[in-house]
Every structure is written in structure tokens, then in C-alpha cells.
DNA sequence: CTGAAAGCGCTTACAG
DNA sequence: CTGAAAGCGCTTACAG
């Protein structure tokens, strides 16, 4: 059961390892190697069940065919699906993935980035929790292949894939108005250094008929449940009839709290950024601004591979994808 | 910015690469290398920001410090959390993960297994969709390090981690009875070659006060939504007052269908295997048999590492963990 | 059209 | 207490 190597094929055929390597890497024609010899090599490789040793190859080539992926939390459905999309695309192209979670912990994120680089990844796809682009400026200066997803930084010269958060949030607010809502509230996250969140807030404010009506509820990101409880209590005394949640975590917490309180909030229209299965099942109904998760993942991998293929004079790209309104 | 190698450290210190390697791998004392020399090496390594090349190491050692993980679907919360648990434990021990999804496709599973082995993983953690242990008998014969999780096979000499499905299902049925249920129905999956599912059915039947009361509804695994619709229609004419769902996918589909129909099934008590957040939020209330997901993942990694450490005379273990009843 | 040789960066007997 | 050398399995100039 010992694994066959190039040498085994070469010896059993009476040719050199170099020739075998060339043929198996598809450079046979280019190098003008005899068609019949090529065929013999391929047959023998199959017969011996030859599996190239990626590590010998990696050592020689200087690449490892491994992409690092860092997300806040893979058990959050949004990131679960994103990783799935990335995995699928990467796998098709012959790349492995190393996936890690930060749990929004900035220190852990720093450590993970250097750990992954220590493990010789070829490139990194990052949904960062950093509050500042300075944290990853080092990567950019080292010209390390990096693609930001979901959360990006303004005026930052790296590849990125995000969605039109401002436009999406606008769509959400306009939907609320179309349902007869007079005064929509935004359930937001604090602190709001994460680009996606701040853009959604900006979209919310921009879409208000009367900007003075803006009502932003800050929910602490490390205690979403508690923040929602406080928010609901506070709003009891206010005159509002629509809620826009900036992400699915907040909407989930809101729904859970309503379930606990036995309140169905019948006079309030709710919409959330991020569409999740839950919204199909639960009362009250929650509409959503859905993100094209598959395309985000696919595009991120594509950008990385373009960069690999074109290391010297790569032009960075900021891809922005559109969202879709799901009415319920 | 070129990465430092052993050679760089050795030359700048006037010692040999071998010595540096020994010290950095913690074998300095064992080999009786001068304490001061050791210290100098460590300082210089840090100064040069030395990162060992895992691929050179892997090539030499014959290991890659990479574990393959194959699950049906990482965007299913259960498997998402399982992967998270595995990742955490593996990462702590210095192992990378390559995660892949089968989507219950047996052909894809076969391909993934050989793909991962081609990528020189050291071992595999597998939640298999295979209907027979024959499919992985080859791995066992090759003595490839393998741990089955969640879904295992009877009388099969490989490491595995599962939960006490029979006892868990019994607990579920007994809970229904304690709530005054007279006739509990089981929403099951078909075909039922997956061990976890068949064991849960067995537990359901075993716990019935009157085995003649057994009512098993078969829901096709590739059309759960449709199966639930049919089941609900069929049961309209029957006299039942409790439902036991064999997994969270079925419970989710049931809840969604009830939401669509606007039916709250007020006279029926529901319980599901697998606890998910959703059950906290939704009406009707769903109780659950929760699995110790973290421990499952942790144990799987542990078994694999024990096997690595003790390749020659490893005794396989079948670890079975307990479930917890969550009343709602 | 093909082969011999060097070298990627590491670890591990072996020798002294 | 330390070093010189071999070799893991591959790819790629170079030579003919």
C-alpha cells in the first residue's frame, strides 16, 4: 500500500522522473514529448494509483494551494453559507481552505492572521472585525494576497467584495413606507465601526422622509439580547410603527424577545438586513434585504485567483453586489 | 521581506542548521545542547521572525498536520456548530482543517474522500451519508486514520463518536407522555439507513406504552418540505396528539408548513431531536433533545490524535455521549 | 525528443 | 556538546 512516487513510475518505464513530471503536468506537448511515451506514462500513473505529494510540490513551487478564511462566526448562518460558497469555488479550482472564527475578538483576529500566514497559506479571505484599516495595513504593504468580504474599508487599496448596503437599507425603509409605516426605527449595532453596519445606518437615514424622524437604537454588539430588551422597553413610550434591523442577529434577538414577552407587535412592520430561513416561519412576519451570498463567496475566490495569476501588476478591485427585497 | 529559513539563523550565528532545528523543536535539552547556545538561537529566530516551512517539514516528516472533515452540509446549524467545535480543538493542537460538504450525495462523498486523501491529509473526520459500511471498508483496510461522527456503523472496527440516540428518543417520547399525550407520532426520514435516524426510531418504538400505537411517518430525505405537507394532510384524519421529529430539518419544515397554513396545532405537543435556536422563538413551542455538539467535536479530534500518537497498536473506541432534554 | 543534476527547507541518524 | 551529509518528492533550467 505504499504510495507511488514519480520515481516509481519513471523506473518501471525506463524513463526519467523529469519526463514523467512534465507529462503529468500537461507540459508534454509543449515540450514535444513523444505522444506514445506520454500515453505510457499516463497509463502507468493510473495503474500505480499515483498521487502527487502536494508538499514536495509546494516546497518546490513555493505555493501551497491553500486559502485562509477568517470570519466572525461560522455557526452564524450568513457566514456558514458564505464559507460554503467559498469552499465550493475554491475546491473546484484545486484549493484547500483553512477556516477560522474570530468571534468578533480583535486580538484573536490578529493572532489568527499571523497563524494562518505561518501555515503558509497562499492568500486570505477576511471578514474583519477590526475597527481600523491600520490593523491590516501590514498585509497590504507586504503585498500579501488578501480579499476583504462583507466588511470593507473606505479608500483602501485591497481587493474586496461587498454589497450595496446603503441602497439596500434604503430599499428596506422605502418598503416600510409602502406598507403605511409613518415612523420607522433603526435597530442598530454599537460600536459601529464595521463598514456594513454604518452604511446601512446611512441608508436608513438617507431614506427617511423627514430626517428629524431618525430614531437610532444602539444595541451593544456583545449583548444583543440585553440591548433588544432595553430597546423594546424604551420604545413602549414612543410613537413608532416600523423597525429596520441592521442584521439578522438583531432580528433574531428581537423575535426571541417578542416570543418571551408573548408580544406579536401587530401594529409594527419589521424588516431586516440578511434573509434567513427563520423569517419564513415566525410570527410576526419579517421581510428582508437578501444578500447574494453565493456570488459574494465566488467573487472573493475569483479575485484571489486573479491576483495569484498576475502577481506583479495586479490592479485591486472593489466589487459591490446588489441586494434583493424579500416581502413577507 | 523574504522569509527567514533555518539556514539564515544558522549562518548568522555560526552554527549548523541541525543544531538550530533541534533547539527550535525543543530537543535542545534532550540532546544536551549548551543552554546559552540554545538561548542565542531562540533570540535570533524571534529577531528574524522565523516561520518554519510546514511543507518542507511535512515532506521530511511524512505528516501534514491537516485533518479532513466531511459533513453533509455545513450551513445546517448542527454541522456548523460541529465544525466549529472541531476547528477549535484541532487548531489548539496545531492542526489545520479542510472542510467539505457532501449534500448527502454518495457519489460526491466518495470523490471527496479520495480527493482529501490525495491532498495528503493525516486523518479524516467523517459524518457519512453512506448506506453501508462497505463504502469505507477500504479506508479501514488501508489503516487510514478515520473517526466517524454523528453517523456510525454497527460492528465496525473504527473510532467513532455518537450520542445515545435510542435513549434520547425514549426520553422524548416519555416527555410527551408526561405532558398528557396519548398517541405520539414519529416524523421519520426515509430511507433510514443512517444510524442516528434508525436508532431514534427504535427508541421511539421502544418507549411506546402500546407498541401497536406506533405511527411512523416516512418523510423522503430529498423532499422534506413535500413529505411534511403530505404527512400533515394524512394525519388530519387520525387521532394523534404528539409529534416526535427525528431531526431538526424535519422540525423546521414542520414549523414552516404550519406557518404557511396558519395552523398552530394547539392540541399537539411537539418535540424534536437536535436543539436549535429557532425553537426558542417559534409558535407552537417545540421541546428538544439536545446533543452535546462541542463534546462530540472535541472527542473526535481527541480520538484522531490518540491514533496518530499510537499508530502501531491503536485500539479503536466507540464513544457514546448523552443527550439532554430541553423542555418548552 | 529526453536525461542528469540542482535545489526547495527541513529532520535525523551518524560520527566525532 | 556539535557538525556534515543524506534524503523526503517534486520541478526546472540546462545540456545534448
Which pLDDT belongs to residue B245? 97
Q: What pLDDT, in 10s, does the model give residues A115-162?
A: 788 777 889 999 998 888 888 888 887 788 999 999 988 888 899 999
The grid cell for A225 is: 439580547
Q: Within 7 Å: CB of A22 and strand D? A: yes
Residues from A in contact with B at Cβ < 8 Å: 1, 51-56, 58-59, 64, 66, 73-75, 77, 80-81, 83-84, 87-88, 91, 96-101, 115, 117-120, 142, 252, 255-256, 259, 277-278, 280-283
Which pLDDT belongs to residue A2? 64
CA nearest B278 in A: which residue?
A278
Which pLDDT belongs to residue B174? 97
Which pLDDT belongs to residue B2? 64
Query: Straight-line distance from CA B51 to C1' D4, in Å?
Result: 24
Best A48, A55, A284, A291 member to test B by mutation, with max B CBs in 10 Å, is A55
The grid cell for A266 is: 401587530
Q: Within 7 Å: CB of A31 and strand C? A: yes
Query: Straight-line distance from CA B18 to C1' C10, in Å?
Result: 9
Number of residues that this document lists for chain A:
328
> Which strand ranges, in their side-by-side order, compose the sheet holding B286-290?
B216-220, B184-190, B242-245, B269-273, B286-290, B324-326
Q: What pLDDT, in 10s, does the model give residues A14-59?
A: 888 999 999 998 888 888 888 888 988 999 988 888 888 888 888 8
Query: Straight-line distance from CA B25 to C1' C14, in Å?
Result: 20
Residues 6+ apart with CB under 8 A from B200: B165, B166, B168, B169, B188, B246, B247, B273
Query: Straight-line distance from CA B2 to C1' C7, in Å?
Result: 17
**A85 neighbors A297 (Cβ within 8 angstroms):** yes
Cα–Cα distance between A142 and A40 in angstroms, integer? 45
| Alpha-helical runs (H) found in chain B | 6-13, 17-24, 35-47, 54-61, 77-92, 106-118, 134-141, 165-178, 195-207, 224-235, 248-261, 278-281, 293-309
Angle between helices B224-235 and B248-261 (to 10 degrees): 60
The grid cell for B209 is: 406504552
CA nearest A53 in B: which residue?
B120
Which pLDDT belongs to residue B171? 97
Please give the angle made by the CA atoms of B161, B163 and B168, to the nearest 5 degrees: 175
> Which strand ranges, in their side-by-side order, compose the sheet holding A216-220?
A216-220, A184-190, A242-245, A269-273, A286-290, A324-326
B80 to chain A: which residues are within 8 Å by CB? 74-75, 77, 80
Q: What pLDDT, in 10s, does the model give residues A47-78?
A: 888 888 888 888 888 887 889 999 998 888 89
Q: Which residue is nearest to nucleotide C4 (CA to C1')?
A: A16
Any idea which residue has 435556536 for its cell?
Answer: B277
For residue A1, pLDDT beyond 60: no
Cα–Cα distance between A286 and A276 in angstroms, integer? 10
**Cβ pair B142:A282 closer than 8 A:** no
Q: Within 7 Å: CB of B13 and strand D? A: no
Q: Within 7 Å: CB of B59 and strand C? A: yes
Question: Closest nucleotide (CA of B4 to C1')?
Answer: C9
Any idea which residue has 426520514 for its cell?
Answer: B189
For residue A296, pLDDT beyond 60: yes
* Confidence grade of residue A327 (pLDDT, cut at 50, 70, 90): very high
Q: What pLDDT, in 10s, does the model give residues B78-121?
A: 998 999 999 889 988 888 888 888 988 898 899 888 878 877 78
**Mean pLDDT, rounded, of chain A:** 89
First to last CA, chain A: 58
Using CA atoms of A157, A160, A163, A164 in order, give the dihedral in degrees to the nearest 10. Answer: 10
- pLDDT in 10s for each residue of chain B, 328 residues: 467 889 889 988 888 899 999 999 888 888 888 888 898 899 998 888 888 888 888 888 888 788 999 999 888 889 989 999 998 899 888 888 888 889 888 988 998 888 788 777 889 999 998 888 888 888 887 788 999 999 988 888 899 999 999 999 999 999 999 999 999 999 999 877 888 999 999 999 999 998 888 899 999 988 999 999 999 988 888 888 999 999 999 999 999 999 888 887 888 999 999 999 889 888 888 999 999 999 999 999 999 999 888 776 788 899 999 999 999 8
Q: What residues does A98 pair with on adjacent strands?
A: A68
For residue A211, pLDDT beyond 90: no
Pick the range with the lowest mean pLDDT from A160-169, A195-204, A310-319, B33-42.
A310-319
Which nucleotides in chain C lie closer than 7 A to a protein CB? Answer: 1-5, 7-13
Which 3 state secondary structure label does DSSP give A138?
A: helix
Q: Which residue is nearest to nucleotide D9 (CA to C1')?
A: A56
Of A56, A81, A278, the CB nearest to B75: A81
Cα–Cα distance between B69 and B67 in angstroms, integer? 7
* Domains by residue range for chain B, with CATH: 6-52 (1.10.260), 64-162+293-321 (3.40.50.2300), 165-290 (3.40.50.2300)
Closest CA to B197 of B150, B246, B164: B246
What is the value of pTM for the model shown? 0.84
CA nearest B85 in A: which residue?
A75
Amino acid at each position: 500500500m505504499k504510495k507511488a512516487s514519480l520515481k516509481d513510475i519513471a523506473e518501471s518505464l525506463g524513463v526519467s522522473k523529469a519526463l514523467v513530471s512534465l507529462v503529468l503536468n500537461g507540459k508534454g506537448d509543449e515540450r514535444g514529448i513523444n505522444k506514445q511515451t506520454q500515453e505510457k506514462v499516463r497509463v502507468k500513473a493510473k495503474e500505480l494509483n499515483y498521487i502527487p505529494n502536494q508538499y514536495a510540490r509546494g516546497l518546490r513551487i513555493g505555493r501551497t494551494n491553500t486559502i485562509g478564511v477568517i470570519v466572525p462566526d461560522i455557526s452564524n448562518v450568513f457566514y456558514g453559507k458564505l464559507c460554503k460558497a467559498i469552499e465550493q469555488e475554491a475546491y473546484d479550482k484545486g484549493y484547500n481552505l483553512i477556516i477560522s472564527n474570530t468571534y468578533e475578538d480583535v486580538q484573536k483576529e490578529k493572532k489568527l492572521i499571523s497563524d494562518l500566514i505561518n501555515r503558509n497559506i497562499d492568500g486570505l479571505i477576511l471578514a474583519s472585525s477590526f475597527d481600523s484599516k491600520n490593523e491590516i495595513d501590514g498585509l497590504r504593504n507586504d503585498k500579501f494576497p488578501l480579499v476583504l468580504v462583507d466588511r470593507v474599508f473606505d479608500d483602501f487599496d485591497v481587493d474586496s467584495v461587498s454589497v450595496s448596503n446603503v441602497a439596500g437599507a434604503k430599499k428596506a425603509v422605502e418598503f416600510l413606507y409602502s406598507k403605511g409605516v409613518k415612523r420607522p426605527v433603526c435597530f442598530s449595532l454599537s460600536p459601529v465601526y464595521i463598514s456594513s453596519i454604518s452604511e446601512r445606518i446611512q441608508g436608513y437615514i438617507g431614506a427617511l422622509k423627514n430626517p428629524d424622524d431618525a430614531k437610532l437604537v444602539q444595541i451593544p454588539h456583545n449583548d444583543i439580547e440585553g440591548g433588544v430588551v432595553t430597546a423594546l422597553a424604551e420604545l413602549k413610550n414612543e410613537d413608532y410603527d416600523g423597525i429596520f434591523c441592521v442584521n439578522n442577529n438583531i432580528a433574531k434577538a428581537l423575535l426571541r424577545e417578542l416570543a418571551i414577552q408573548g408580544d406579536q407587535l401587530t401594529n409594527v412592520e419589521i424588516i431586516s438586513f440578511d434573509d434567513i430561513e427563520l423569517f419564513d416561519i415566525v410570527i410576526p412576519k419579517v421581510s428582508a434585504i437578501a444578500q447574494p451570498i453565493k456570488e459574494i463567496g465566488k467573487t472573493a475566490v475569483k479575485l484571489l485567483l486573479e491576483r495569484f495569476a498576475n502577481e506583479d501588476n495586479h490592479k485591486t478591485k472593489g466589487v459591490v453586489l446588489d441586494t434583493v427585497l424579500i416581502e413577507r
